[in-house]
Structure 1
Amino acid sequence: MKFAGADEWVPARGGLPKLRAALPDCRGCDLWENAIQVVPGEGPRQASMMLVGEQPGDVEDKEGRVFVGPAGRLLDKALGAAGIDRDSVYLTNTVKHFRFEERGKRRIHKTPAVSQIVACTPWLSRELEIVKPDLVVVLGSVAARALLGTGFKVTERRGQPVELPDGTAAMATVHPSAVVRSEEYRRDFGLLVDDLRSARSLAAAGHSGKSKVKPA
């Protein structure tokens, strides 16, 4: 299915508060119909690092905050281990509503369709324009599809410096939810921490050696 996309709802001017205020009105795709609420990004306007995930999960949809479920708690732990203060980075998702399927009383995560990713991308594009991060950390394949194209393979290029089409420095790694589900948790958690340490160094280099990513 093809959707109209979010362009008509995304404010062309103004900062993050105006952007967050406009989000609940978006009807660019169909995900708003079943989700409890939209989940905006959060973090400082001048963050040097932006972390972009896939979509809100069940907990995020209920609480209206980004990265507060199991994957978010693991990300917090990994950020701390990498020496990064969560409050100093900007966290957001490619898709702003929770896509799921119901199994009994449970709501099970369902990967957003390509048409839903495309429809929601104007929100992410505007966040990038406002925050202007020195580095974008791309978490998982959905964010990679939106920001780096369909040919980009996270498993092959994780931890490597790359650029977004507009020239913004970026680096991809796995989504924290993959580590939550991993059968080799200790190894995969360590690899995620290593990638975040590399990201911290890249963000610092992008800010002339004066990183806004504060130590944890």
Structure 2
Amino acid sequence: MNDFTGAEQFVPPRGGLRGLRAALPDCRGCDLWEHAEHVVPGEGPARARMMLIGEQPGDVEDKEGHVFVGPAGRLLDKALDAAGIVRDEVYLTNAVKHFRYERRGKRRIHKTPAAGHIGACAPWLTAELGIVKPALVVVLGAVAARAVVGTGFKVTEHRGEAIELPDGTPATVTVHPSAVVRSQEFRRDFGLFVEDLRRAVELLRTA
């Protein structure tokens, strides 16, 4: 694991989501800021009942500075709509706030965040959860699951199930939308993803 200092010293003790967004660009908790174009904060209502947590920004998100606006974000929008979820009513964020990538020619290829990056960035996510206090968290993919559920948790074995985060917050887990974008059986996997989100709506009603 990389020995990063972590983000805790950069997270403001007050100021709500606005304070977090203002402080994020100054974060030097790990090395990802050095090559990123933008830090990408979470977006959505401060009192959203549902929070969706993904892995990290992608190439488009890094360039634009907004969460879930690339190919995976467009697919997520379609899936949310199919599940009856209004994007503007949920809070969207990532476990890691900067884009980790490797260059191949002119292209920037996604590289999975290391455990050190996930740990270093955790104070931001903890702060978001503490401010929003969602009634339900939807965990998108293995990296997000590692960040909020713990190591060793397997998304494929528990997707769609009702679980609890370590702090007791109700949650459910599904794949990251980028996995559906890359799928060789897109129609099937998109349908399963929508089913998981519909299940999340059901869980929210009883949360």
TM over 0.5, shorter chain: yes
Rounded to whole Å, the distance in 2 between the matches of 1:84 and 1:74 is 13
Q: In the TM superposition, what is the alpha-carbon distance from 1:11 to its structure 2 partner?
A: 1.0
Letter in 1 for 2:167: D
Q: Partner of 1:167 in structure 2? A: 168
Q: Partner of 2:26 in structure 1? A: 25
Secondary structure (helix, strand or coil) at the match of 1:146 reads helix
Q: In the TM superposition, what is the alpha-carbon distance from 1:14 to its structure 2 partner?
A: 2.1
Q: Partner of 2:103 in structure 1? A: 102
Listed one character per residue, the Cα deviations across residues 27-63 of structure 1 (whole Å, up to 9, x for unaligned) are: 0000000000100000001100000000000000000
Rounded to whole Å, the distance in 1 between the matches of 2:40 and 2:196 is 26
Rounded to whole Å, the distance in 2 between the matches of 1:101 and 1:154 is 26
Secondary structure (helix, strand or coil) at the match of 2:171 reads strand
Structural mapping, 1:140-159, within 5 Å: 140-159=141-160
Q: Partner of 2:40 in structure 1? A: 39
Rounded to whole Å, the distance in 1 between the matches of 2:103 and 2:174 is 29
Secondary structure (helix, strand or coil) at the match of 1:52 reads strand
Q: Partner of 1:67 in structure 2? A: 68
Letter in 2 for 1:88: E
Q: Partner of 1:204 in structure 2? A: 205
Aligned residues: 206
Structure 1, unmatched stretches of 5+, are 207-216
Structure 2, unmatched stretches of 5+, are none
TM-score (norm 1): 0.95
Secondary structure (helix, strand or coil) at the match of 1:20 reads helix
Percent identity of the aligned residues? 74
Letter in 1 for 2:131: I
Listed one character per residue, the Cα deviations across residues 94-126 of structure 1 (whole Å, up to 9, x for unaligned) are: 000000000000000000000010000100000
Rounded to whole Å, the distance in 2 between the matches of 1:187 and 1:172 is 18
Q: In the TM superposition, what is the alpha-carbon distance from 1:202 to its structure 2 partner?
A: 0.9
Rounded to whole Å, the distance in 1 between the matches of 2:137 and 2:153 is 15
Structure 1 segments of 4+ aligned residues over 3 angstroms from their partners: none
Q: In the TM superposition, what is the alpha-carbon distance from 1:151 to its structure 2 partner?
A: 1.5
Q: In the TM superposition, what is the alpha-carbon distance from 1:203 to its structure 2 partner?
A: 1.2
